Structure formats: C-alpha cells, structure tokens
Structure 1
Amino acid sequence: LEPYLTVERFRELLPETRDHTVQRHVLPNLRAVNFVVEGLLQEGVSASTRFDPQGKALGEWLRARHADIPEALL
C-alpha cells in the first residue's frame, strides 16, 4: 500500500483534493498511511458546505475505489 498510495495517486482517486495541500504520513508499525487534506472541510464542521461536513465518509469513499494491487498482498 505504501508504494502505491502516493499523494499523486490520492489526488487521482479524490479529485476534489487538487486545490488543497495534502500531507502523507507513513505509519510502518500499523502498515498504514494517513493523509491530511488541509482546508477540505473549510473552517470546520459548522462552516462546511460539503455533503460530509465532518469528513467521515471520505475514507470510506477512498476505500471503495478500485486499485490494482500486487498479488502478494492478497
């Protein structure tokens, strides 16, 4: 997952992030990556006009996207 899910790939999978700063944090002990998208939720939950003002569904949306992965990970 770490070599595949780069900031560039993240932007391809979630095009609404293209105008925002995206930070990628690798968590090797968890075998995970974490992304922070600055400003996507505007000034916060109460000010956001997004359909998902808390951003809870964003990770699920990303998880539901199709991606080619190496067989070794299956």
Structure 2
Amino acid sequence: MTREQALTEARLAAGKAKRLAEYAEGAAHSGEPSHYAKTNRFAEAGALWADTSRAYAQLAQALPETADTDTTEG
C-alpha cells in the first residue's frame, strides 16, 4: 500500500464516519421512538469508521512518500 492509497482510504472512512454521525444526530433529534433507538448504533458504527480513518492516516504517515519514478522526457 502506498501513502496515497492509505490517505484515500482514510478520507473514505472519514466520510463514512461523518455520514453516520449525521444519521445519529438526526435519529437523536427525531420524535420517533424507532429512530431514537438507532442513535447508539449509528454512533457506534461512526466511531468505528473514525477509528479506521485514524488508523489509515497513521499508516500513511509511516509510509514513505513515493518519488516520481517517470524519468522519460516527452
């Protein structure tokens, strides 16, 4: 895995965490008991995706930057 791939995965996971946090917020503010019951599940899933994003970001930080290996002139 390259640094860029890890950063891409981190961004994707962060996007999922954000959406799940928005769902959790909506469910928490809902007047519907069935929606309110989903708040914790959305929040827990969002926290897992946030952890995943942080893990990929740390991996990206540990990976070397890829050098431009294309030495051809065009």
TM-score normalised per structure 2: 0.31
Q: 1 or 2, which has the higher strand percentage? A: 1
The structure carrying a bigger helix percent of its residues is 2
Bigger radius of gyration among the two: 2
